[in-house]
């Protein structure tokens, strides 16, 4: 088939389940590029260089094309994609062929009715040949959805070498300078699916001029002119981090905060600190050991730091050692109610007010561990209007009362078949299983945190008080707060 000279290919534009952080009009196909979807932008660029034009289409006009390309940017996108296409009568009896790919193309078991082919991993060197040969195409990373069999997540040897337009309205371009990560945190899908090719610097400030995204809490990567840092601990305590091969010690974390506060040339520094909660082996002593660490910064910082803890619940990513781990679905709404964690001299630590609900955490895990056994549940979440009208708490209660979710949340033994058994990456599955056993061994050997019960109780009291009256520098002007404070003190 000759793809040139005809407009027969389109990227599919569909609305996500949760509204994107970009201001986008989902009826305006030009806005597709405002999503800054780098993977699609690369493929478009490759196609253009072969004189093949790819449009953008909505589900309702997909039937005007021969080939529709679906970019799944996160594993959670499967709900949004099926929801957007099921409404379209043409989709079920389609003549066009649907190809899926992207970083979120992980568990595709639930997509058998909705797509024809999937390509796993980087496709810039294969896309033209793949689309020209259609169903006759053969590649170890190419899967026909009518038969699920072993596939390999494709790698490239070099970052994409061209400047790529990622936001057409504002003429923004991006050039890839690194791929993968040399660290191997046991939960990280990115590092286990992208071979590392880098320019040696662990810093991302690709899309946001005011922030530096610094990996591994390394103060030497901080640019003193930037008032914001984004970085990640990904586990409250040293023992949790070490058990997952994330070797950031408590002392190096303390040094990081002290150094960036000394180094900054801004009047103060905001730090967004990503963290993973609900990890295997985690208990309340891990949380309080982090708060204890924050109290040790009191009076030691040169410029004010505001640390906002952004918690994400653990998801068991396929082809990672922790793809076998059990999942704890917890309600963290108390983090929102009592979001102030610590306030001292030049330091404020707080929870972000955004936190996944148990329902949204469960849905993400369902996308990763879906098998046909969960087809009815998947359809209920995706399409049932009565279910969709419930609030998040009632949705999760409904699921618990009507479904056995054990195969979604339980631990998998390394001798068992995972729901995503067909995925293979550049590290063999046997090696990944060995790393999983290593993680369990490390977790057992780490023992518990050093914090004792009395200190935990002191910290609990401190947080309660802080959330009633404010920090050291706050003067309560509110009568209501004063009443709460008196009540608290009288009941101590």
| Contacting residues toward ligand SF4, per CB under 6 A | 181, 183-185, 188, 190-191, 215-216
**Between residues 100 and 248, which has the closer beta carbon with respect to ligand SF4?**
248
Q: How many CB atoms lie under 10 A from the CB of residue 460?
A: 14
Selection from 346, 336, 281 nearest residue 309 by Cα: 336
For ligand SF4, the closer of residues 153 and 456 by Cβ is 153
We find the least distance from the C-beta atom of residue 156 to ligand SF4, in angstroms, to be 17
Q: How far is the CB of 223 from ligand SF4 (least distance, A)?
A: 19
Nearer to ligand SF4, 35 or 231 (CB): 231
Contact 115, 99 (CB under 8 A): yes
Residue closer to ligand SF4 by CB (options 180, 326) is: 180
Is 442 exposed, middle or buried (CB count within 10 Å of its CB: 0-12, 13-18, 19+)?
middle
> How would you label 164-181 residue by residue, b for 16+ Cβ within 10 Å and e otherwise?
bebbeeeeeebebebbbb
In the DSSP assignment, the letter for residue 211 is E
**Nearest-approach distance from CB 191 to ligand SF4, in angstroms:** 4
Whether residue 213 contacts residue 231, with contact meaning beta carbons closer than 8 Å, is answered with: yes
Bridge-based pairing state of the strands 305-313 and 347-351:
parallel
CA separation for the pair 48, 136 (Å, rounded) = 23
Nearer to ligand SF4 (CB atom), residue 46 or residue 179: 179
CB of 468 to ligand SF4, least distance (A): 36
Q: Least Å distance between CB 296 and ligand SF4?
A: 24
Q: Provide, rounded to whole angstroms, the least separation between the CB of residue 458 and ligand SF4.
A: 32
Q: Measured between alpha carbons, how far is 193 from 177 in angstroms, rounded to an integer?
A: 17
Pairing between β-strand 142-144 and β-strand 117-119 as defined by DSSP bridges: antiparallel
Q: Which helix (H) or strand (E) holds 241?
A: helix 238-243
Q: How far is the CB of 394 from ligand SF4 (least distance, A)?
A: 34
Shorter beta-carbon distance to ligand SF4: residue 160 or 192: 192
Cβ proximity to ligand SF4: between 184 and 460 the closer is: 184
Rounded distance between C-alpha atoms, residue 6 and residue 13, angstroms: 20
User: Of the candidates 42, 62, 74, 46, which has an alpha carbon nearest to the alpha carbon of residue 131?
Assistant: 46
Find the shortest distance in angstroms from Cβ 136 to ligand SF4: 37
Q: How far is the CB of 241 from ligand SF4 (least distance, A)?
A: 10
Least CB distance to ligand SF4 at residue 325 (A): 15
Residue 79 CB: number of other CB atoms within 10 A?
21
Please give the full DSSP string across 267-278, using - where no structure is assigned: S-EEEEEEEEES
460: nearest Cα among 473, 451, 472: 451
Point out which residues pair with 277 in neighbouring strands. Answer: 313
Three-state secondary structure call for residue 259 = helix
CB of 113 to ligand SF4, least distance (A): 33
Q: In this complex, which beta carbon is closest to ligand SF4, that of residue 34 or of residue 238?
A: 238
Say which DSSP state 20 is in.
P
- Nearer to ligand SF4 among residue 185 and residue 347 (C-beta): 185
Contact 62, 94 (CB under 8 A): yes
The pair of structure tokens assigned to 443 is: 């977790």
Contact between 187 and 244 (Cβ < 8 Å):
yes
CA 55 to chain centre: 28
Q: Quick one: 109 or 231, whose CB is closer to ligand SF4? A: 231
| Cβ distance to ligand SF4 smaller for residue 191 or 264 | 191
């Amino acid at each position: 088939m000759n793809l040139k000279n005809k407009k027969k290919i389109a990227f599919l534009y569909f609305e996500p389940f949760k509204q994107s952080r970009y201001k986008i009009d989902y009826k305006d196909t030009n806005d597709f590029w405002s999503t800054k979807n780098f993977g699609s932008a690369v493929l478009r660029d490759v196609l253009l260089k072969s004189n093949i034009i790819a449009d953008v289409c909505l589900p309702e006009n997909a039937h005007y094309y021969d080939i529709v390309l679906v970019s799944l940017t996160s594993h959670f996108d499967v709900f949004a994609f099926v929801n957007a296409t099921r409404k379209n009568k043409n989709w079920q009896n389609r003549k066009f062929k649907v190809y899926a790919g992207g970083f979120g193309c992980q568990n595709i078991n639930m997509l058998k009715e909705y797509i024809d082919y999937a390509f796993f991993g980087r496709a810039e060197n294969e896309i033209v040949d793949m689309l020209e040969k259609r169903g006759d195409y053969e590649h170890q990373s190419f899967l026909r959805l009518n038969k699920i069999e072993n596939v390999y997540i494709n790698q490239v040897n070099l970052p994409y070498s061209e400047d790529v337009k990622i936001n057409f309205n504002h003429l923004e371009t991006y050039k890839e300078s690194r791929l993968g990560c040399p660290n191997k945190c046991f939960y990280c899908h990115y590092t286990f699916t992208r071979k590392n090719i880098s320019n040696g610097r662990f810093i991302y400030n690709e899309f946001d001029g005011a922030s530096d995204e610094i990996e591994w809490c390394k103060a030497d990567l901080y640019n003193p002119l930037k008032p914001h840092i984004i970085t990640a601990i990904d586990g409250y305590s040293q023992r949790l981090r070490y058990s997952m091969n994330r070797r950031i010690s408590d002392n190096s974390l303390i040094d990081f905060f002290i150094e960036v506060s000394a180094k900054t040339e801004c009047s103060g520094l905001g730090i967004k600190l990503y963290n993973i909660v609900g990890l295997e082996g985690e208990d309340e002593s891990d949380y309080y050991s982090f708060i204890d660490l924050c109290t040790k910064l009191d009076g030691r910082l040169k410029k004010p730091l505001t640390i906002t803890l952004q918690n994400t619940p653990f998801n068991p990513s396929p082809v990672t050692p922790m793809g076998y781990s059990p999942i704890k679905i917890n309600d963290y709404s108390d983090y929102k109610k009592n979001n102030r964690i610590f306030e001292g001299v030049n330091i404020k630590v707080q929870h972000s007010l955004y936190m996944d609900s148990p329902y949204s955490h469960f849905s993400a895990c369902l996308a990763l561990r879906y098998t046909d056994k969960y087809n009815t549940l998947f359809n209920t979440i995706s399409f049932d209007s009565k279910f969709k009208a419930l609030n998040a708490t009632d949705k999760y209660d409904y699921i618990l009362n009507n479904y056995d979710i054990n195969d979604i949340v339980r631990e998998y033994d390394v001798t068992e078949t995972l729901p995503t058994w067909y995925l293979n990456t550049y590290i063999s599955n046997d090696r990944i299983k060995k790393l999983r056993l290593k993680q369990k061994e490390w977790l057992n050997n780490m023992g518990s945190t050093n914090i004792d019960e009395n200190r935990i109780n002191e910290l609990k009291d401190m947080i309660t008080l802080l959330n009633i009256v404010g920090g050291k520098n706050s003067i309560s002007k509110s009568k209501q707060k004063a009443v709460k404070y008196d009540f608290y003190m009288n009941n101590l």
